[in-house]
Structure 1
Amino acid sequence: MKDLSEIKKHQLKLQLRYKQLIEQAYNLRQTDHAQSDISEYKAIKLLNKLNRLKYLNRENKQIPVSYN
């Protein structure tokens, strides 16, 4: 399993790329609809990855409870 800091670094990199794609999609909306849609689609796929990483990160933070 990857170290938590590596997961966090990857998460931050994906967030930056997501923001870039959303901005690109917005800027292209008036001039090139097809390219705007492609950028938005890529951003949605990245958002899905980010949500999965967030879920994995949440799972790792939970403290195991022992029942005696």
Structure 2
Amino acid sequence: MENLSKLKQNQIKLQMRYKQLIEQAYNLRQTDSAQSDISEYKAIKLLNKLNRLKYLNRETSTTITPT
């Protein structure tokens, strides 16, 4: 159970970082397109990691059965 809570905490932290990067990319779109692209790339990589965590979380929650 402790691993599940750590997984969830990590997922929340990554979601917050993803939102920051997307907002940063949007704000930089007009002034610095290169930096905007870098922020968007980092956000996409983070989204990929989040999707893997969601998959792991789904997989572990289905294998745990209450007694």
Same fold (TM over 0.5): yes
Q: Counterpart in 2 of 1:50? A: 50
Q: Counterpart in 2 of 1:3? A: 3
Structure 1's unaligned 5+ residue stretches are: none
* Larger fraction in helix: 2
**Aligned residues with identical type, % of pairs:** 77
Q: Matches of 1:63 and 1:48 in 2, distance apart?
A: 23
Larger Rg, first or second structure (1 or 2): 1
Q: Matches of 2:12 and 2:24 in 1, distance apart?
A: 18
Paired residues, what number?
A: 64
- In the TM superposition, what whole-angstrom CA distance separates every residue of 1:36-56 from its partner, at most 9, and x where no partner exists? 000000000000000000000
Q: CA RMSD in A?
A: 1.6
Moved over 2 A (4+): none
Q: Matches of 1:62 and 1:24 in 2, distance apart?
A: 36
Normalised to the residue count of structure 2, the TM-score between the two structures is 0.90
Structure 2's unaligned 5+ residue stretches are: none
- Once the two structures are superposed, the pairs formed by residues 13-28 of structure 1 within 5 Å of their partners are 13-28=13-28
Q: Return the offset for 1:13.
A: 0.2
Q: Counterpart in 1 of 2:34? A: 34
